[in-house]
Structure 1
Amino acid sequence: MVNPNQFVAVVDDDESVCRAIKRLLHSEGIRAETFCSGDEFLNALTAIPSYRPACVILDVQMPGSNGLEVQRQIAQTGVPVIVITAYDDLSVRQSAFAAGAAAYLRKPFTSAILFKAVEMAIGGPPAP
């Protein structure tokens, strides 16, 4: 369950995807912050040591640091990662899960699938 002080970080180079996921999460009472690149997200983590999302929704294919690179860099934080991608590839899927991904979603996905993945990653149902 996400408490009011928690939030989900959404990292995708497609701004429309960021906006759509943020709206969906908001509709379930989940606060979200968006980042247009893996590098932007990593910079926020570095600049603000106390910055800790409850979960990260992370696109695989992005310019700069791609999703798998970002996942590797944040692995030691223990923040759950949900990997999303439009280009499903078995080796990428295996790499994501080997690095500890909580879920792997292929775009387009339904809101129900997204909510279930976030619920599983955070460890409880979303707040009403």
Structure 2
Amino acid sequence: MIKVLLADDHGAIRAGLRLVLSADPQLEVVGEAADGAVAVRQARALRPDVVVMDVRMPGTDGIEATRQIVAAGSAAVLVLTTFDIDEYVFGALRAGAAGFLLKSAEPADLVDAVVRVASGDGVLAPEVTARVLATFVGTPAPGGRTNPRLDDLTDREREVLAALGRGRSNAELAAELVISEATVKTHVSRVLAKLGCSSRMQAAIVARESGLG
């Protein structure tokens, strides 16, 4: 069972999300939060697998809440918002969100995104994927520096990082590299640890900024 925490300042939206997610037997909604600070506390207390996080909330916003939740290792975060503004997209991904989806997504796509994030995959709304790739393809890291930890990666781990930069899922990575999904997850975990990244989406950004992918 995948445990989910809902964070949105609108009660009606939380109720709708609960209805959609609870209809799937794989998912259990274990809590709700109306602002970012409560979401951080709930994530620490309830230890959900995934937090479905709105961006714009009073007090601590969704991006800062995501940063705190990911830094604490409390849960993976799927940002779900009405807005596809670049500032929010990149802010959420840099904060460590495992995925970014718009509230206009179909219920089946939302369920699929939660399941994928819980399994360690990254998810990016089709509406913003092209902009994200365009921003990071061939874009040098700030100050012209690449991540110095890239040299710590093995050749296989660099292959995995490059594939993450191309947006590959675990299943696609396994097929591309002719290895099992379990082995893919091990490689991804090592890549994240060596690069100091908290999500595969952050690693994908490193790959793009470093000219990989």
TM bucket (normalised to shorter chain) is 0.7 to 0.9
Alignment of 1:108-127 (within 5 A): 108-123=104-119
Look up the match of 1:64.
59
Please tell me the root mean square deviation across aligned C-alpha atoms, in Å: 1.7
Q: Do the aligned residues in 1 keep the contact of 2:48 with 2:74 (CA within 8 Å)? A: no
Is residue 37 of structure 2 the alignment partner of residue 42 of structure 1? no
Question: Which residue of 1 is the match for residue 183 of structure 2?
Answer: none
Contact persistence 2:84–2:102 (CA under 8 A): yes
Partner AA of 1:27 in structure 2: A
User: Unaligned 5+ residue runs, structure 2?
Assistant: 121-213
Return the structure number with greater relative CO, CA threshold 8 A, min gap 6.
Answer: 1
| Contact 1:56 1:79 (C-alpha < 8 Å) held by counterparts | yes
C-alpha distance after superposition, 1:12-31 (max 9, x if no partner): 00111101111111100211
Could you state the TM-score of these two structures normalised by the residue count of structure 2?
A: 0.51
The residue aligned with 2:191 is: none
Aligned AA (2:111): F
Check the 8 A contact 1:22/1:34 in 2, yes or no. no
Matches within 5 A, 1:1-128: 3=1, 6-29=2-25, 30-32=27-29, 33-45=31-43, 48=45, 51-76=46-71, 77=73, 79-123=75-119
How much has 1:43 moved relative to structure 2? Answer: 3.0
Matched length? 117
User: Match for residue 140 of structure 2?
Assistant: none
Question: How many percent of aligned residue pairs carry the same amino acid?
Answer: 29
Checking the alignment, whether the CA contact within 8 Å between 2:7 and 2:53 is kept in structure 1 is yes
Question: Could you tell me whether the CA contact under 8 Å between 2:64 and 2:95 is conserved in 1?
Answer: no
Q: Between Structure 1 and Structure 2, whose CA radius of gyration is higher? A: 2
More helix by share: 2
